[in-house]
Structure 1
Amino acid sequence: MNTTENIRLQDTSKGRQLKDKLILGLVILLSLITISPIVLIIGKLVAKGYRQISLEFLIKNTPDTYTAMTALANGERIPGGIANGIVGTLIMVVLASAIAIPVGIIVGIFLYENPGKRLANFTRSLSDVLQGVPSIVLGLISYLWVVKHVTNGYSALAGAVSLAIMMLPMIVRSTEETLKMIPNTLKEAALALGTPYHKVILRVLIPTGFSGMFTGILLGISRVLGETAPLMLTALGSSMINLDISKPTSAVPLLIWEFYNDPNMIDLIWSSSLMLMAIVLILNLISKQIAKKTK
């Protein structure tokens, strides 16, 4: 009887081990399928784009069609670079961050402090809706608001406004969710010591939730770095470096679109895309490291 029971238990154990191995193999297979697209994309960009990457690529403006055509005819590397796009991207992202970060943090704090109020619920719903609005629609709104009535023309400011609107929902929700994770006893202790309410927010809540809030900000920046559609309606583009925010300016995504429409600039598409993906990847890695160290 004991022998029969032992054999049955052994069979059951072997069956469970077999199921565990099958499930583990399935998980590994699905994981490989999940990461394979990004591996293939990065591999393709590196294989196609490394030829143009150089110091000249980072510090010179984009070449014209004739220069690129001449270089291709002679079997040479296309001269010039994407300095105008890099500078334009930095200007618009910095402006967008200056607009979106303070507003997003303030709104997130308001939602955290007033969870049950009608205005807070309405604002939260609007934030969720705004996060799902297509970027081209936000570009159109910025065109009507800024291009038509503020700068009276395409400009870096208009592009920054469209990017700021895109960043807002992520900053708002990340701020609110981060503050929800902070124990209420921490705030109560600060208030019990006679600390003014605004100082509790500035000196206790924000520093304590800095990692989560900063991660949300970096993810928002990463999202807008690769946007093209809203910038086509607002920033338009420029072949030269432009530091005037009231004038048209270029961006790396806009340059990729322009290179795509010019058969002589095909090689620059891959290099520009590789640079853009590298910037986004670096920002995401930085956000993860900061969140890990300041958790």
Structure 2
Amino acid sequence: MESIDILKSQDHSSGRLLKDKLVLGAVIVLSLITISPIILIIWKLVVEGYRQISLDFLIENTPDTFEAMTAVANGELIPGGIANGIVGTLLMVILASALAIPIGILTGIYLYENQGSFMANITRDISDILQGVPSIVLGLISYLWIVKHITMGFSALAGSVSLAIMMLPMIVRSTEETLKMIPESLKEAALALGVPYHKVILRVLIPTGFSGLITGILLGISRILGETAPLMLTALGSSMINLDMTKPTSAIPLLIWEFYNDPNMVGLIWSSSLLLMAMILVLNLVSKQIVAKRR
């Protein structure tokens, strides 16, 4: 009887091991299927785009159609670069972050501190709805608010406002959810020691949830870096570098759209897309280093 029980136990163990291996194999296969589109996209961008990447590509403005057509006809690389798009993207992202980050964090703190109140619920619902609004609609709103009534024309400021509106919901929700994960005892201990409420927020809650806040901010920035539709209605674009936020300016996504519509500029699409992807990758790597140091 004992030998029979041992054999049954061995059969049961081998069956479990076989099932474990099958499940592990399925997980690996499905994971490879999931990441394969990303790998193929990156491979395509690198193969098609590396030829145009150079110092001139980073410091020179976009060429005109005639220059590009001449270079293509002669089998040469397209001259010029996308410096105007790089500067415009950085300008609008910085302005958008300056607008969205303080408002988003303060709103998230308000929602955390007033859970269940009528105004907090309304604000949370509006934030959720705003997150699902198409970007072209946000661009139209910024066009009506800023372009028509403030700058009286297309501008980097209008583009920044549309991007800031897109960032807000992510920052608000990530701030609220991050603060919910902080033990309530930390805040209670600080208040019991007589620490003023504003210092509890600035020196206890925000530093403790720093990694979560940074994650939400970077997710918002990563989302707006590749947006084109709202900028078409607000920033419009510019062939030159422009640092005046009240004037039209370019951005890398806008340039990609312009290159797509010009058969002579197609070669710059891949390089611009590769650079944009690299910027997002660097942004995420830097954020991980910051979070690691804070921990």
Tell me what 1:148 maps to: 148
Residue 26 of structure 2 is matched in structure 1 by 26
- Distance in structure 2 (CA, Å) of the matches to 1:132 and 1:178: 21
**Deviation (angstroms), 1:218:** 1.2
The residue correspondences of 1:217-228 to structure 2 (distance < 5 A) are 217-228=217-228
Structure 1 residue 171: Cα displacement: 0.6
- One-letter code aligned to 2:287: S
Question: Which one-letter code corresponds to 1:63 in the other structure?
Answer: P
Instruction: Kindly provide the amino acid, as one letter, of the partner of residue 220 in structure 2.
Output: G
How big is the alpha-carbon RMSD for the aligned residues of Structure 1 and Structure 2?
A: 1.0
Q: Does 1:185 align with 2:188?
A: no
Q: TM-score, normalised by structure 1?
A: 0.98
| Per-residue CA distance 1:124-173 (angstroms, 9 max, x = gap) | 11111111111111111111111111111111000000000000001111
What amino acid is the match of 1:54? Answer: S
Give the whole-Å Cα distance in 2 for the aligned partners of 1:191 and 1:20: 51
TM-score (norm: length of structure 2): 0.98
Q: Between Structure 1 and Structure 2, how many residues are aligned? A: 295
Letter in 2 for 1:116: G
Give 3-state SS (helix, strand or coil) of 2:52's partner.
coil
Matches within 5 A, 1:117-136: 117-136=117-136
Deviation for aligned residue 1:294 = 2.7
Partners of 2:14 and 2:289 in 1: CA distance:
42
Query: What's the CA shift string for 1:260-289, capped at 9, x where partnerless?
Result: 000101110000000001111121223333
Question: How far did residue 201 of structure 1 move?
Answer: 1.1
1:182, distance to aligned residue in structure 2 (A)? 1.5
What's 2:199 paired with?
Answer: 199
Post-superposition Cα deviations, 1:76-129, rounded to whole Å, max 9, x if no partner, equal 111100000000001100100010001001101100110111100110111111
Cα distance in 1 for partners of 2:189, 2:5 equals 61
> Counterpart in 2 of 1:38?
38
String of CA shifts for 1:26-73, please: whole Å, max 9, x gaps. 000000000001000000000000000000000000000000011111
- Which deviates the most, 10-19 or 46-55? 10-19
Q: How many Å separate the matches in 1 of 2:125 and 2:150? A: 29
In terms of mean alpha carbon deviation, does 189-198 or 35-44 score higher? 189-198
Deviation at residue 208 of structure 1 after TM alignment? 1.7
State the identity %. 78
The match for 1:280 is 280
Distance in 1 (alpha carbons) for counterparts of 2:99 and 2:110: 17
Amino acid at match of 2:19: K
Task: Report what 1:50 is aligned to.
Answer: 50
Q: Which residue of the partner structure matches residue 253 of structure 2?
A: 253
User: How far apart are residue 198 of structure 1 and its match?
Assistant: 1.2
Report the secondary structure of 2:240's partner residue.
Answer: coil
Contact 1:219 1:287 in 2 (8 A): no
Aligned to 1:85: 85
* 1:165 and 2:154 are equivalent in the alignment: no
1:289 counterpart residue number: 289
Counterpart residue identity of residue 177, structure 1: E
Residue 251 of structure 2 is aligned to residue 267 of structure 1 = no
Q: 2:232: which partner in 1?
A: 232
Alpha-carbon separation, structure 2, partners of 1:18 and 1:179: 43
1:178-198 CA-to-partner distances (Å, cap 9, x unmatched) read 111211221112112211111
Q: C-alpha displacement at 1:4, in angstroms? A: 1.8
**Following TM superposition, by how much is the alpha carbon of 1:292 offset from its aligned partner in structure 2, in angstroms?**
3.8
Residue correspondence of structure 1 range 94-109 to structure 2 within 5 A: 94-109=94-109
Q: Give structure 1 stretches of 5+ with no counterpart.
A: none
Gaps of 5+ in 2: none
- Structure 1 counterpart SS, 2:51: coil
CA–CA separation in structure 1 for the residues paired with 2:55 and 2:11: 66
Q: Residue 7 of structure 1: CA displacement? A: 1.6
1:290 and 1:10 map into 2 onto residues whose CA distance is 50
Q: Is the 8 A contact 1:211 1:291 kept in 2?
A: yes
Aligned to 1:165, the other structure's residue is in SS state helix
Opposite residue 87 of structure 1, the aligned amino acid is V
Give the Cα separation in 1 of the matches to 2:259 and 2:216.
32
Correspondence for 2:7:
7
